[in-house]
Structure 1
Amino acid sequence: MKRSSYLILTLILIGALVPKLAVCQNISRVNPAEPNEKTRLLKAIESDPDNLSLHQDYLDLFSAKDTVQLISKYSQLGKKYPKSAVIPFAFGGFLKKVYHIKAKDYFEKALSLRPDWAEVWIKLYETSYLTTSDSIKIGYLKKAMDKAPKNLDYRMRYISALQSVDKMKSDSLYIEVAKRYPDSLQAGQALWELSLYTDNKDIKRAYYNQLFKSKHATTFRGAIFDYFALLINNSEYREALEVSLTMDFKTFTNNTLRWKFYTKVARQFIEAKQLLNEKQPDAALLAFNNIKLKDNFSAVSIGAADHLFLLKAEANDMAGRTSLSYDSVMNYYSRQPSDLFSDIMFKYARKIGKDSNQVYTDVNAIRYKGVKKATPFSLLHYETSKKVALEDFKGKVVLLTYWFPSCGPCRAEFPYFESVLKKFNRDQVAYIGINTTPEEDALVLPYIKDSGCTFIPLKDNPLWDRGNIDWSGAPTNYLIDQEGNVVFSNFRTHKGNERTLELMIAELLNKKAK
């Protein structure tokens, strides 16, 4: 991710844009052209103003620094051809590309001239992510779907967006797509997204299994990779083996190396767990230690590190090395707390005679080992134009995030921050957002107003030596305790781990010992 701009990485499924896990990159394009090429294209546009391709070729010759010049030029074109919806649509596309706040105005102008143009409703949705409420944005997608009812891509985008406001209806519409259009790629996409949007492991497994058994399994192999990892984490090793063997048989590309690796891992888990069931902990531990979840040859990995970690602790406990099991789980918990690891940590603690106070003393001894004071700052507040210093928040836990308005991963993370922070007294917890991209200063306050985000918006200073709270991309997050120590850093919060952030904050507020 670069500091100046971003690109939301997407999964393209027959043109459908399905947000998964996005990253911010520099999308700046500068395509210098000879003046006569610009002149030629402009003359062609004036002869055929409704030719969208001509507009796109012309606008591709410009970059963000040419925006003022182009606004004047397209204003003239609009006045000359007032009935053309293509002119504002094309220029709205350029402004959208350079993240200009006026892009939405041009798409709205195109719609006023041609309200049945479904693609414009899609562009209006994409442009409004900074300044419009979810319900209005979803309304744009519904308009697109209604204007082009046979377009399954538009339908899927509407259903996906609906998850944030009406999950039950969204799930029902996903199922309808899967049933009504079973041969379409959107049916496979629907099953995958259904699996992603549920926290219930049994329901998630059922959707993955339906996709695995469908004709779309090889197309949506990413979902089947996730299904395999889910089965491993559920200790359903034989079922995981069946999946890997079946997919290996169906696959005729380089992914066959991945499935062979998965098959090897599933068999290793079966053998190691069998040794544990037979009360052979040392042999089981050796077998677990031989399991590698990342294959350097095929450059793939399996998301089951926590599961394997806990199995090794179980083997040590069975072998009478409970103190070692406790130490390993407690060390892990100190860095990344969760309810699962808490339960297991306290189980081992009880076995070796430690009470909760002793456990928290151990946790904080590890957690605070080597911590340092956060590098001080004094930055401009966007709303008050006054300087705000880190020292102003002494006595509070501080959640600090580096972001910028057009950063997709940042915007995706904010709702989870807000969900967690609602559980705390905001007199005890401060939430600060430092915008890293001065080119988007004008977007900061509109975004905060329309998104409902509650962080204190500060402007980064490129001359500030950030020290131990630096950033290399957005989002970058830190948790600072009441005394100004950086305790947690470089973590991410999402639907599946909100509880981790909650525990981090709660335990900083209620330290048992240091």
Structure 2
Amino acid sequence: MILKRMKLGKMALIAIFLTAAMPAAFGQRPNKNEIITDKAELAKLSAAVEASPDSPKVHTAFIKAMGTDNPELEKQYEVWMVKFPKSAMFPYSLGKAYEDQESPKAKPYLLKTVTLDPKFTEAWGGLWIDAERWGDFAGGRDYLAKAVASDPSNPNYNFYYASSFSGADESKYRELSLAVAKKFPAHERGAQALYWLGARSKKVADKMKYFELLRKSYSPLKFNWSSSGMSSYYDILLSENPAKALALAKEMAKDADKQKEWSNLGLQAQNVAAAKKLIAAKKATEAKALLNKIKLPRYFGFNKEVVLLKAKADDIAGNTSAAYDSLIVAFGKAPSVKVKSVIASYGTKLGKGDSQVDADIWKRLNAVAKIATPFTLKQYFKRESASLSDYKGKVVLLTYWFPGCGPCRGEFPHFENVVKKFKGKNLEYLGINIVSEQNDYVIPFMKTSGYSFTPLEDVKGREKGNLDNRNAAPMNFLIDQEGRLIFSNFRTDGDNEDELELMINMLMSNRTS
């Protein structure tokens, strides 16, 4: 499936373990230029399959030549499965080709594969991925267990199986992930298991513990997942211990390929530490000058702390109004519970009550709010179409998704945790499927997963205006009761569900008319 994915920052990484470093596949969707129509050439490729029926290479060549959209491909494989009834490679080759296309046609062929050969590890893995697209997460976990049982030495499926318990059984998730790290000390999957333990932990102390274990157990100079984890660790240390962040940056700068990046991060850590000392000494002007020099990757969580530190410097300098105003602007771009709390504290200092603070925040939001671009889209569970105007009077949480989207599936549980808090209130949760070719998955996905959004089918080429997802998923928007777009381009994970809850509450309590 050729789709533009959302650019991946740290938050987006939280959901992509399903697609990271999967085993090499054969049967990928062919380029149209690879499709062969010459009958003599196809005959040669067919003969090669029959001569070496258990060779993945010959199946790859034949499937690419035929094209998976060609109905003759399936017919030919049905003939071969009769001719070679004991060979699991025939159903697997076709099932894998469909699985790589995120096609609902994959499942029966993968099931036939494991019936013929219960030790066919990659087929169990394919069934797991396919089950995720049907919304059958428990079934997918069972397939992963069978993949591990079929080859206990396979680090890929040991990792995937451990990760499948995240959000379902946190104790077992931690236990199995630590076991993966211990069992595969020389493999990226071991490092990856510790990375996600750190990334998914809710407590800062736990995050630091796992990232430090990752650093000690898997050299960041040798393991990519450990190297990635050090960026997250550094981000946390900037808040918790800038001196240790500096030490980490110096250590990471030993990697010649990343020396420039980490040398710069070392400089940022020095500036943070110095600025904090200046603020503690009430030297606001010097602190603000240093803080203005701090330039971090945009996805770093510490960027919000920089905004708060700048506001604190303004307040110390006696310019509380500037601190208050700057945080209101920052909140409009990236709402957070902490920023709103600090805004309220400065508001109190300025003699403003809660209602006035809320009014000031809404003044900023109203200034940039625009009527959301209207749409009328097909519903999956009803015959009639649904229009955005149908939901006027309700807050609308709108997400773009498709069943094969791992990051989407990773975000849905966090949406559900928030949405269920507004049950019975004027909140509508919509999900626009951007891949019509996966329509067969949608209704089973909704019924099996139990997710509560109303699924709608996107229309290719429609004018999306300010609800443009740029052909990417997931992409999220919040629309108020008057049909105005208020918040967009946000992500929700285990660390920031409170931010989504805050945004929805704000829209629930505000009416412009």
1:60 corresponds to which residue?
64
Distance (Å, rounded) in 2 between the aligned partners of 1:136 and 1:10 = 30
Distance (Å, rounded) in 2 between the aligned partners of 1:513 and 1:355 = 20
1:14 corresponds to which residue?
none
State the TM-score, normalized to the length of structure 2.
0.90
Whether 2:228 is the aligned partner of 1:229: answer no
Distance (Å, rounded) in 2 between the aligned partners of 1:203 and 1:461 = 44
Contact 1:403/1:410, CA 8 A, preserved across alignment = yes
Distance (Å, rounded) in 2 between the aligned partners of 1:232 and 1:206 = 15
Aligned residue pairs total 496
AA of the residue aligned to 2:126 = K
State the TM-score, normalized to the length of structure 1.
0.90
2:123 corresponds to which residue?
120
Distance (Å, rounded) in 2 between the aligned partners of 1:497 and 1:301 = 14
Distance (Å, rounded) in 1 between the aligned partners of 2:174 and 2:417 = 22
Change (3 A) 1:181 1:373: closer
Choose which of 197, 208, 219 in structure 2 pairs with 1:194.
197
Contact 1:118/1:144, CA 8 A, preserved across alignment = yes
- Per-residue CA deviations over 1:101-131 (Å, capped at 9, x if unaligned) read 1201101001111112222211111222211
2:417 corresponds to which residue?
419
For structure 2, the 5+ residue unaligned runs are 11-15, 22-27
Distance (Å, rounded) in 2 between the aligned partners of 1:20 and 1:318 = 48
Choose which of 245, 263, 268 in structure 2 pairs with 1:240.
245
- Per-residue CA deviations over 1:142-161 (Å, capped at 9, x if unaligned) read 11111211222221111111
Change (3 A) 1:406 1:221: same
For structure 1, the 5+ residue unaligned runs are 12-16, 295-299
Distance (Å, rounded) in 2 between the aligned partners of 1:485 and 1:7 = 24
1:297 corresponds to which residue?
none
Distance (Å, rounded) in 1 between the aligned partners of 2:407 and 2:155 = 26
Measure how far apart 1:485 and its partner are.
Answer: 1.4
- Per-residue CA deviations over 1:420-477 (Å, capped at 9, x if unaligned) read 1100034411112222222222222122122222222222234643333233122222
SS at the partner of 1:400? strand
1:346 corresponds to which residue?
344
Change (3 A) 1:379 1:513: closer
Distance (Å, rounded) in 2 between the aligned partners of 1:7 and 1:94 = 24
2:272 corresponds to which residue?
269
Measure how far apart 1:8 and its partner are.
Answer: 11
Distance (Å, rounded) in 2 between the aligned partners of 1:281 and 1:374 = 42
Change (3 A) 1:306 1:28: farther
Measure how far apart 1:332 and its partner are.
Answer: 2.0
Measure how far apart 1:9 and its partner are.
Answer: 8.8
1:85 corresponds to which residue?
88
Change (3 A) 1:490 1:57: same
Choose which of 307, 310, 324 in structure 1 pairs with 2:308.
310
Segment drifting more, 201-210 vs 399-408? 399-408
Distance (Å, rounded) in 2 between the aligned partners of 1:7 and 1:364 = 29
Distance (Å, rounded) in 2 between the aligned partners of 1:10 and 1:374 = 26
1:94-113 to 2 correspondence within 5 Å?
A: 94-113=97-116
1:337 corresponds to which residue?
335
Measure how far apart 1:248 and its partner are.
Answer: 1.9
Measure how far apart 1:507 and its partner are.
Answer: 0.9
Distance (Å, rounded) in 1 between the aligned partners of 2:445 and 2:30 = 22
2:17 corresponds to which residue?
18
Percent of counterpart pairs with the same letter?
34
Choose which of 35, 42, 45 in structure 1 pairs with 2:46.
42
Distance (Å, rounded) in 1 between the aligned partners of 2:183 and 2:430 = 47
SS at the partner of 1:406? coil
Change (3 A) 1:10 1:39: farther
SS at the partner of 1:320? coil
How large is the Cα RMSD of the aligned pairs? 2.6
Measure how far apart 1:58 and its partner are.
Answer: 1.4
Choose which of 436, 447, 472 in structure 1 pairs with 2:445.
447
1:29 corresponds to which residue?
31
AA of the residue aligned to 2:82 = K
Whether 2:305 is the aligned partner of 1:288: answer no
Contact 1:10/1:20, CA 8 A, preserved across alignment = no
Change (3 A) 1:20 1:483: same
Contact 2:29/2:97, CA 8 A, preserved across alignment = no
Contact 2:399/2:432, CA 8 A, preserved across alignment = yes
Contact 1:130/1:450, CA 8 A, preserved across alignment = no
SS at the partner of 2:87? coil
Change (3 A) 1:513 1:72: closer
Distance (Å, rounded) in 1 between the aligned partners of 2:19 and 2:56 = 30
Change (3 A) 1:337 1:180: same
Distance (Å, rounded) in 2 between the aligned partners of 1:350 and 1:414 = 37
